[in-house]
A and B are shown apart, each in its own frame.
Chain A
């Protein structure tokens, strides 16, 4: 499960993961989705792009 908050800055990232996953699977550019979700800092962006849901 994705950590609730960004490990570096503490911004909530988990609430956006499902939307990010769905939209990128539908063919949107990951950069545009992250920008649109308001995840501007690179610490938060890596939380999302590096996450693998294993259970």
Chain B
């Protein structure tokens, strides 16, 4: 298996993975989506809520705020010895505000400086003059299989690596394909009098080019052993953390099958 990092920033990564098959990469994709633990608000104790937003709706909004997650410092709920929640399996975020104001995710005070909302400007509720809100939101680790708020990825997808072939004997160099391509992958080269493929990685395999080619000179196919894999995270974990944790989980699962008696 050969992995190339094509582009990478804080929340996105695009990898070119070669030498694996579809079941493998799909397993990785699904683990990235729904089996990696992240932090999210699971219980909310509301002491006071004068606003027009219902307690349930407010709790739901709190649950959807992505929280920066440090996987080493928090224990999974199932693995903790406590009965409900304790400091090793949960983090409390406190909120106490008086109107008039819009309350934002940045107004939450976390008891753990490492586990804080990814975004500060998520509007949670609006308070009118004199209205108050006071609550404690308890965040715990969980996985996307249980609830989508624990999904670390907002994109986790792969596509076959496109291969564009132009049969130079059949091609009449009408340049129709280059005009039709919506992604600007093909270009008519006047000097050489032929069509050149600029960047196959931009191709979406829509096959518009081959549909319009009368002599059927151009074909677009996907390789089944090379993939473009894209991950975008909600900021709770970095894309590298997501991929490496997914690989660890896949390895553990494979071990379980190998040692099954």
Contacts and interface: CB of A to CB of B under 8 A. Distances in A.
B152 to A, nearest CB: 10
A10 B123 contact: no
Interface residues of A, number: 17
Contacts of B123: 1-2, 14, 17-18
A55 B119 contact: no
B155 A9 contact: yes
B122 interface: yes
Nearest to A19: B121
Contacts of B154: 5-6, 9-11
Interface residues of B, number: 22
B118 A41 contact: no
B64 A4 contact: yes
A12 interface: yes
A12 B66 contact: yes
A13 to B, nearest CB: 9
A14 B155 contact: no
Contact of B122 (A11, A15, A41, A55): A15
Smallest CB-CB A-B distances: 6 pairs: A15-B119, A4-B64, A11-B154, A15-B121, A10-B154, A15-B122
27 contacts: A1-B53, A1-B123, A1-B126, A4-B65, A4-B122, A5-B154, A6-B154, A9-B155, A10-B148, A10-B151, A10-B234, A11-B155, A11-B232, A11-B234, A12-B66, A12-B118, A12-B119, A12-B122, A12-B235, A14-B122, A14-B123, A15-B119, A15-B120, A15-B122, A18-B123, A41-B155, A55-B52
